[in-house]
Amino acid sequence: MALSVMIEKMSTGFEKTCSIFFLTLLFALPLGVVIALLRMSKSFVISRITQLFVSVLRGTPLMLQLLAVTYGPFYLFGTSVSRNKLIPVVIAFSINYAAYFSEIYRGGIESISVGQYEAATILGYSKMKTFIRIILPQVIRRILPSVTNEIVTLVKDTSIAFTVSYQEMFTIGKQIANSQTSFTPFIVAGVFYYVFNAIVGFVMGRAEKAMSYYKQ
């Protein structure tokens, strides 16, 4: 198979890889905030249940969670497996990454000294105004490197979708490699992932630079 044809076929899978990536971020980033707030709840029960939830998601393989979300309902309730594999893939990825993001958020929020809250109160700032104008910019600046690392990992983790036969880029590359008995598709896939991560790194680097105003 000509290299140009191979790249063309894998590029169709790359579109699905991008779908997993962007949809996961769309749901995981805000869901992580909710989980972080529940984890920091003053209610012992809510905090402990959330802690256990996060612990399970971080302590078990994403591949296992993906298989559980995709095929679990069939084995447990006898329901049919979703024809659109993108749905369970995004659900599994979003929940998994939300757990990781939540711990990053929590660490960033708790890293802000109590003195800043007290100073804002003295200046007459409401709790909401304090959080939005003083705390949040600093939290974002502090967590950006960690969030960037997770996003870079997400780019590579999209390849795990091959375990449920979702036709993303790596799955197509693997099929071509098996049919052609060639390692070239894996090299092409590696180039795709590297370029994708280079773009992610550049964008996140610009974001960190933009937030450098809040660096202490």
Closest by CA to 26, choosing from 118, 98, 120, is: 98
Q: How far apart are CA 40 and CA 84, in angstroms?
A: 36
Q: What is the mean pLDDT of the chain?
A: 89
103, 53 Cβ separation under 8 angstroms: no
Q: How far apart are CA 180 and CA 28, in angstroms?
A: 37
Predicted pLDDT at 213: 57
Q: How far apart are CA 110 and CA 150, in angstroms?
A: 20
User: Can you tell me the mean pLDDT for 99-126?
Assistant: 86
User: Can you tell me the mean pLDDT for 19-42?
Assistant: 94
Residue 181 dihedral angles phi and psi, to the nearest 5°: 50, 55
pLDDT beyond 80 at 142: yes
Question: Taking the model in full, what pTM does it have?
Answer: 0.89
Q: How far apart are CA 43 and CA 45, in angstroms?
A: 6
Instruction: Compute CA 108 distance to the chain's CA centroid, rounded to the nearest angstrom.
Output: 17
- Neighbour tally for 203: CB within 10 Å: 12
pLDDT beyond 70 at 8: yes
Closest by CA to 154, choosing from 56, 32, 6, is: 32
User: In the chain, what are the domains?
Assistant: 3-214 (1.10.3720.10)
Beta carbons within 8 Å of 66's beta carbon, 6+ residues apart: 88, 89, 92, 93, 160, 161, 163, 164
Lowest mean pLDDT among 26-35, 51-60, 81-90: 81-90
Q: How far apart are CA 156 and CA 34, in angstroms?
A: 25
- Per cent of the chain over pLDDT 90 is 57
Report residue 110's pLDDT band, with 50, 70 and 90 as the boundaries: confident
- Neighbour tally for 119: CB within 10 Å: 13
User: Can you tell me the mean pLDDT for 149-171?
Assistant: 93
Q: How far apart are CA 188 and CA 7, in angstroms?
A: 7
Predicted pLDDT at 24: 97
